[in-house]
């Protein structure tokens, strides 16, 4: 799991080194868990678990800009959080990300 930090609402929080993961990484800020993804066009962040039955998305399969939940096969757009395939019916929450000097920050 990534760095543990306390969050100030609306502020940027450093969660990982960009070189510390290849495709996805689970990070924790306070009591909340997020998944960050390294795609060809940038770094993105979603809530850490599937909206269907709360399985960790870091265990899912990432293909292009989609993540497949391994538990039941729900598929989501990583960039928008949109549900693409059932059984999930609720979109994922997404969060702003920035990368500065090799460090990944999210705005939870």
Superfamily of domain 4-107: Rieske [2Fe-2S] iron-sulphur domain (2.102.10.10)
For residues 52 and 104, give the distance between their C-alpha atoms in angstroms, rounded to a whole number.
Answer: 27
Residue 10: band (very low, low, confident or very high) from pLDDT cuts 50, 70, 90: confident
Domains of the chain, by residue range, sit at 4-107
C-alpha dihedral sign at 95, 100, 102, 105:
negative
Is 38 within 8 Å of 45 (Cβ atoms)? no
For residues 90 and 51, give the distance between their C-alpha atoms in angstroms, rounded to a whole number.
Answer: 6
The model's pLDDT over 50-79, given as tens digits with 9 standing for 90+, comes to 998 889 999 999 999 999 998 888 999 999
């Amino acid at each position: 799991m990534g760095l543990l930090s306390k969050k100030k609402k609306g502020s940027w929080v450093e969660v990982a080194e960009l070189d510390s993961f290849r495709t996805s990484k689970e990070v924790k800020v306070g009591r909340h868990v997020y998944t960050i993804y390294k795609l060809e066009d940038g770094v993105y962040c979603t809530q850490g678990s599937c909206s269907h039955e709360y399985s960790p998305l870091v265990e899912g399969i990432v293909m292009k800009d989609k993540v497949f939940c391994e538990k039941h096969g729900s598929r989501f757009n990583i960039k928008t959080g949109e549900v693409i395939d059932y059984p999930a019916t609720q979109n994922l929450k997404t969060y702003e990300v920035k990368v500065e000097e090799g460090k990944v920050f999210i705005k939870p």
